[in-house]
């Protein structure tokens, strides 16, 4: 079955850019032709370009953007849609962790149902992929992990997902965590996580040895929270890169937050970016107020960057609403970007960047800037959203609420709602 999306504008920089018709078949973009010519083998048309469409979707001049992704989520801790709760953490990393531990069971929904609530919001905003961390520690055991795993599995037909077994309270400082991580990887975790091996666990060798030993044992990837800045962050970067290359895990390791790239002199940052590229390590950011990543330097080295929302109105922070287009706005805003090409690059990070992070990148991977079609060319997955906007930049600035979201060419969300309701 083929579907033609008529009169749409692909990733436009100018309001008067010509519209096209997009033909979708077998879940992928099969042809792109000038508007009104979808029945023929027009410009960019593939073999399916001449095939008659079974369904027509009227684009009405709307902008067609690639789907977005939240590749640093914590679905097990969000409180979206619940009664607002005043913030009570003390402002330290350990205080945030312990405050969450003291309160997470008081939520108004089960972990699975609350994760599903957030997943629906993310998809409705334009998301087609999520990588979520799930807390594993001596208090929660695998309870939060299984809740997130089951929620993601319930949305497998409309969402690409990965789950990280995340030792939020450390590995070394808490007994039994290694065995819990081992069990989570056996029960379906896609990656093993870590957290500040120098400044939180205070035993970087043991911490990283456990993380990478488990990754090697299970044939899984690694995604480490690294809030460490300065020389501590440099040390952890070097140790992570060394283990990645030694074990042949290029393309399977991510450093989240990566504040060492924001808290060191430029020559050091450039060396770290080269190290990431050599080891095939990707990075993710949540567009923080402080700690912006050097997107230009990372781009020069072809390091994949993904965007996430982190927590969403949880015990850590009242911020976050599940809207990935709004988080793209935040990425542009916290970087102080004004030029259209810079804001468009933020949308690339929120879309194709996240896809690269989840798919895995190699040192010879293609940089975002090398792909002129922004992931919307013939043969690409038909994962996109349609919305009313003049340009890509205006879409990011205005964040229009009315969005039609497609996965594999099938409408899965519209008007801010996941079709079929909560699962």
What pairing do the DSSP bridges indicate for beta strands 68-73 and 127-135? Answer: parallel
Which structure tokens are listed for 23?
């033909």
Q: In terms of pLDDT, which residue wins out, 198 or 42?
A: 198
Query: How many CB atoms are located within 10 Å of the residue 219 CB?
Result: 9
Q: List b or e across 14-37, with b for residues whose CB sees 16 or more CB atoms inside 10 angstroms.
A: eeeeebbbbbbbeebbbbbbebee
- Asked whether the predicted pLDDT for residue 329 surpasses 70, the reply is yes
pLDDT of residue 103: 94
* pLDDT tens, residue by residue, 276-322: 999 999 999 999 999 899 999 999 999 999 999 999 999 999 999 99
CATH domain 2-66+373-415 topology = Urease, subunit C; domain 1 (2.30.40)
Query: Quick one: pLDDT band at residue 47, thresholds 50, 70, 90?
Result: very low
* pLDDT tens, residue by residue, 166-186: 999 999 999 999 999 999 999
Query: Quick one: pLDDT band at residue 372, thresholds 50, 70, 90?
Result: confident
CATH assignment of 68-359, among 3.40.50.2300, 3.20.20.140, 1.10.2020.10, 3.20.10.10: 3.20.20.140
DSSP state of 77: T
Let me know: does 260 contact 229? Beta carbons within 8 Å. Answer: yes
Domain residue limits, the chain: 2-66+373-415, 68-359
Q: Whose structure tokens read 């590995």?
A: 171
Report phi then psi at 72, rounded to 5: -145, 80
Where is 20: in which H helix or E strand?
A: strand 20-25
% of the chain with per-residue pLDDT over 90? 91
pLDDT of residue 135: 97
Let me know: does 132 contact 76? Beta carbons within 8 Å. Answer: yes
Which structure tokens are listed for 79?
């409180």
Rounded to whole angstroms, what are the CA distances from 23 to 48, 308, 395? Answer: 8, 30, 23
């Amino acid at each position: 079955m083929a579907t033609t999306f008529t009169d749409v504008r692909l990733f436009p920089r100018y309001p008067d850019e010509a519209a096209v018709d997009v033909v979708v078949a077998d879940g992928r973009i099969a042809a792109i032709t000038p508007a009104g010519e979808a029945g023929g083998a027009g410009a960019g048309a593939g073999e399916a370009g001449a095939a008659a469409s079974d369904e027509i979707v009227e684009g009405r001049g709307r902008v067609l953007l690639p789907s977005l992704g939240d590749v640093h989520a914590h679905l097990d801790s969000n409180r979206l849609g619940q009664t607002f709760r005043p913030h009570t953490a003390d402002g330290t990393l350990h205080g945030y962790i312990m405050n969450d531990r003291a309160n997470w069971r008081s939520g108004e929904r089960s972990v699975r149902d609350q994760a599903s609530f957030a997943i629906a919001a993310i998809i409705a905003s334009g998301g087609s992929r999520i990588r979520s961390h799930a807390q594993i520690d001596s208090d929660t055991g695998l309870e939060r992990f299984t809740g997130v795993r089951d929620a993601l599995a319930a949305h497998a037909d409309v969402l690409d997902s990965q789950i990280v077994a995340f030792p939020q309270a450390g590995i070394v400082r808490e007994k039994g965590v290694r065995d819990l991580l081992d069990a989570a990887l056996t029960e379906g975790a896609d990656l093993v996580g870590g957290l500040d091996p120098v400044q939180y666990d205070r035993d970087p060798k043991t911490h990283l040895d456990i993380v990478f030993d488990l990754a090697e044992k299970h044939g899984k990837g690694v995604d480490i929270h690294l809030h460490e800045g300065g020389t501590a962050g440099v040390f952890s970067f070097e140790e992570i890169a060394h283990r990645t290359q030694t074990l042949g895990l290029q393309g399977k390791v991510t450093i989240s937050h990566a504040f060492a790239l924001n808290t060191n002199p430029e020559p050091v940052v450039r060396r770290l970016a080269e190290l990431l590229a050599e080891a095939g390590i990707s990075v993710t950011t949540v567009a923080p107020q402080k700690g912006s990543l050097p997107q230009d330097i990372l781009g020069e080295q072809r390091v994949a960057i993904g965007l996430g929302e982190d927590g969403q109105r949880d015990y850590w922070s009242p911020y976050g609403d599940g809207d990935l287009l709004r988080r793209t706005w935040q990425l542009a805003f916290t970087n102080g970007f004004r030029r259209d090409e810079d804001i468009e690059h933020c949308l690339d990070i929120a879309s194709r960047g996240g896809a690269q992070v989840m798919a895995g990148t190699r040192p010879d991977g293609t940089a975002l800037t090398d792909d002129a079609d922004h992931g919307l060319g013939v043969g690409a997955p038909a994962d996109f959203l349609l919305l009313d906007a003049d340009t890509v930049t205006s879409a990011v600035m205005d964040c229009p609420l009315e969005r039609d979201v497609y996965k594999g060419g099938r409408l899965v969300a519209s008007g801010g709602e996941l079709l079929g309701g909560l699962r």
